[in-house]
Amino acid sequence: MRVFLFWLSLVLYQLSLAQVKGTVVEQGSREALTGTILKLKVSHHVEISDAQGRFYFSILNFPDTLIAQLTGYVSDTLVLQRADTLLRLTLKPTLQLNEVEVTYKSNGSELNSLSVMKTETLNERSLMKAACCNLSESFETNPSVDVSFSDAISGAKQIQLLGLEGKYAQLTKENMPYLRGLSNAYGLLFIPGTWIRSIQLGKGAGSVVNGYESFTGQINTELQAPENTNRLFFNTYVNENARNEYNLNLGHKLNDKVSMVLLNHLSFNPLAQDLNNDGFVDIPTGQQVNLSNKYAFFSNKGVEWQLGGNILLDERQGGQISKRRSDTTTLYKVNINNSKWDVFSKAGYVFKKRPATSMGLQLNYTWHDQINTYGLATYKGFQTTTYANLIFESYLGTTQHKYKLGASYLSDNIKETYLRFQFKRIETASGIFGEYAYSAKQKWNVVAGVRADYHNYYGWFATPRLHVRYAPLEKSIFRFSAGRALRTANALMENTAAMVSSRQWVFTPSDARLPYGLQPEIAWNMGGNFTQKFNLNFREAYITVDVYRTEFKQQLVVDLENPREIALYNLKGPSYSNNIQVEFNSEPRKRLFIKMAYRFVDAKINYNEGLLEKSFTARHRGFLNAMYETKNEQWQFDATVQYNGSKRLPNTSENIIPYQLAKRSPNFYNVLGQITYLAPFTRVKLQVYVGVENALNFKQTSPIVAANDPFGKFFDAGLTWGPIYGRMLYAGLRWRIK
């Protein structure tokens, strides 16, 4: 009876509310205005117009005063006298200008002050600061993410976030799982930079809507959208290692409701160079063919649908090109071969009769085959992944109280063989989730969520997440987040660096029924940040401070402290990563953008040898990026300086003296720069750019241990802590027709 009375009172309360909805457009052009802030003066309710300029309110008492504000437009005020109001607000620009086109508006990254989760959006401007040939290189001009080679032979790259490897960040493509299983080692190379429209980088616990695997944050990549991409975009690139790339994006609007985009990528690495004279190719040769096709359908009845697919063929060859001693031993070769395709569908429906209510269904299927050779050893992997996510979104009473409900399904079918090991698993997880969002005026925002999943190996488990935003002043923002995460460690693919060595693989299973006989990884992440915006020389600037801690309850320990083996076992004792970052962003002079940052990391793991600092992780990192654009917008100058502090290296004291490494790596700087020229055409935009990576030509000395004896017991190419190639010059052009 109590439950019945509760739901009855809730229904009666919602019936007593008046629905106010409408759209915001620009005076003259009638273009929808996204991001307009709409405030109710009496009830203090705040809403923001969506991508179509739409907004919704639920009001209990009349009259009330609606205030509409948007930067660059004259604010408007309207008194609401009655219920069931349908509004069309027209805002006038503060300055009427002839039609102009602004090529660059910012330094390439944006922070959303109103979002409860601190999310940094890297747009196309950010990606154009450097070569950004693929996703891994897109973070070179961002202070939060570290990019490095995983080993000295294969060319694979890895990232770090909050002092931990990229495997602990949830990497998604258009909000669907991307970097999983076999993709862990080389997947960052599979998304060309020219395909990327934006990257959303969030630190800390993510949303339960996207799954249970986010330990340190979520990195979501949005590809070019069919409905608003260029009709034609062509990019070509070449560097002094003879790497050459060709990218062609084609967009077409089939009719008023359907549009499509075709993304094409072709790249070659034909030149085998050995500039450090160790007998091994510095950068592997090879080629990649990558195609993606997307369609978008939008109706005036609330139905939205996107579908598409992707196909990839990637081959690379590395290893020895000459012998360092006169014997008959065969050359040590490394061959990486990836074949991958996927299809996806994203369908949504917006309920016309109930404001701020929608339903969406995400579907994805991935097929991936990988065959690699490392000297005399062969790795074979095969994976299929099926993913489905159903999301319903609405509100309780007023849109101050929003909620999301849904269910998801994820299945990984993975088969692996390497040396004497054979692993096979079909991993499924079915879950339900709920997320509640509360907003009070513009000061308080709370998002609390929980999901419950049933895993065929781990049974039932819960994933709670909490995000809080408090803005005591308009430009002063505090955020806090906390949450739990769980994942299955992919013991082989996440440690391919050990495959280019003579190390023996030693598994210490704790439960033979589980994947690899090891427990899942479980951790809590908690922390917060403070952002203060202010004006500097009459232009906006901000300083932000991030403090986060990731503490593992269970973890797969990858132990390299014995140079003869790679030991994999479950954690016994503490493991954590503390991260503090301070960042300053400003425009001290017109068209000169400066971003500076400093980060401190304290990451330790309890190995069999005791509690040690996490290897290959710099405790200190400094960052400086500067971008200047000339007044006529035809020349653009970008420069980035990265300071990388000392990193602890795995113990090699048991090697003979010539093959022993120092206990720590030296500090070093990495400098990148680029000059871009924009041709003064109108319809056709042509950019020509030249740049340099690692301008100081710093290289890790002897990145391969025992390079003269690759089949001997001391050989190890997986102890990489710095650049391998040295200075790299490059050039390219971009040509687009809107």
Q: How confident is the model over 173-214, as pLDDT tens digits? A: 999 999 888 998 898 899 998 999 989 999 998 899 999 999
Which of 213, 210, 190 is CA-nearest to residue 200? 210
- Report the C-alpha gap between 18 and 85 in whole angstroms: 8
Helix (H) or strand (E) holding 13: helix 2-15
Q: How confident is the model over 538-568, as pLDDT tens digits? A: 888 999 999 999 999 999 999 999 999 999 9
Domain coordinates in residue numbering, the chain: 2-91, 222-737
Contact by Cβ (8 Å): 166, 160: yes
Contact by Cβ (8 Å): 239, 132: no
| pTM (predicted TM-score) | 0.83
pLDDT at 51: 60
- 328 pLDDT more than 60: no
Does the domain at 222-737 match CATH 3.40.50.880? Answer given as no
How many C-beta atoms surround the C-beta of residue 372 within 10 A?
23
Q: How confident is the model over 590-646, as pLDDT tens digits? A: 889 999 999 999 999 999 999 999 999 999 999 999 999 998 888 999 999 999 999
Dihedral angle of Cα 607, 613, 618, 622, to the nearest 10 degrees = 140
Which of 46, 56, 108 is CA-nearest to residue 86? 56
pLDDT at 386: 97
Q: How confident is the model over 440-486, as pLDDT tens digits? A: 877 889 999 999 999 999 999 999 999 999 999 888 999 999 999 99
Supply the DSSP symbol for 290: E
Token pair for 53: 């300029």
Token pair for 115: 């979002």
Does the domain at 2-91 match CATH 2.60.40.1120? Answer given as yes
Token pair for 181: 């299983």
Q: How many CA atoms lie within 13 A of 189 on its CB side?
A: 29
Which of 690, 672, 658, 734 is CA-nearest to residue 248? 734
- 322 pLDDT more than 90: no
Burial grade of 235 (CB within 10 A; 0-12, 13-18, 19 or more)? buried
Q: Is the peptide bond before 680 cis (omega within 30 degrees of 0)?
A: no
Which of 293, 189, 319 is CA-nearest to residue 245? 189
Which of 638, 669, 650 is CA-nearest to residue 719? 650
**Beta bridge partners of residue 728, listed in sequence order:** 693
pLDDT at 83: 52
Contact by Cβ (8 Å): 65, 41: yes
Burial grade of 632 (CB within 10 A; 0-12, 13-18, 19 or more)? exposed
- Report the C-alpha gap between 201 and 198 in whole angstroms: 10
CA triplet 623, 624, 627: central angle to 5 degrees? 145
Secondary structure class of 515 (helix, strand, coil): helix
- Report the C-alpha gap between 503 and 495 in whole angstroms: 12
